[in-house]
Amino acid sequence: MFALLWLLAVLQLGYVRFVENRPLDSIGLQPVSPLVFAFGVVVGFLLLAVLSAIPEVLLQQFGRALPDESGLFLLAQPPHWKVAVALSAGVPEAILFYGYLIERVIELTGNPLWAVGLSTLLAARARASLAGRRFAWNGCRWPSVAHWHPHYSISGSGASSSSQGPRR
């Protein structure tokens, strides 16, 4: 699933650059100074390190292993895996729904509120359809709740929070 998200993002960037023949800053991807970039990376890793402690402490406290089919085993993965999940959840979504869509709707309508509203609506719809499929499968909302937190982002993994199989 990660590969598909990144492929869509790369295709979108290629479309902007080579089909529309526009620079990437036309969708908000503007260069930043190395200092600003480094600050963002440091803050991101610090947040990840702090938030990574939560599931680790809970797993040690309760001493239970999470079954692989639960999908929650992702919470106990090493930090580099969590970084990959977080980046794959955020970066392609930002490019597809917020970068490109907002800028082009502003060009069409001249109204930033319409652009933000439409973009937010479509992004929420994409997430809701995934959450609905998960809930229909096993009747549990926890994976859908957990994916809203960037540290626990398991959206798009196909993971469920129950090993009981489909809901009957």
Lowest mean pLDDT across 14-23, 116-125, 134-143, 150-159:
150-159
| 162 vs 83: CA distance, rounded Å | 24
pLDDT of residue 168: 43
Of the candidate ranges 9-13, 47-51, 152-156, the one whose mean pLDDT is the lowest: 152-156
Please list, in sequence order, all residues whose beta carbon lies within 8 angstroms of the beta carbon of residue 152, skipping any fewer than 6 positions away: 55, 75, 146
pLDDT band at 113 (very low <50, low <70, confident <90, very high): very high
Domain locations in the chain as residue ranges: 2-152
Q: Which residue has the higher pLDDT, 165 or 124?
A: 124
Q: Which of 21-30, 38-47, 128-137, 158-167 has the least mean pLDDT?
A: 158-167
pLDDT of 35 > 90? The answer is yes
Please state which of the ranges 14-28, 100-114, 116-130, 148-162 shows the lowest mean pLDDT: 148-162
**What tens digit of pLDDT does each residue of 142-156 get?**
555 555 544 444 444
Cβ–Cβ under 8 Å, residues 126 and 36: no
pLDDT on residue 110 = 94
How much is the pLDDT for 60? Answer: 72
Confidence of residue 115 (pLDDT cuts 50, 70, 90): very high
Q: What HEC string does the chain produce?
A: CHHHHHHHHHHHHHHHHHHCCCCHHHHCCCCCCHHHHHHHHHHHHHHHHHHHHHHHHHHHHHCCCCCHHHCHHHHHCCHHHHHHHHHHHHHHHHHHHHHHHHHHHHHHHCCHHHHHHHHHHHHHHHHHHHHHHHHHHHCCCHHHHHCCCHHHCCCCCCCCCCCCCCCC
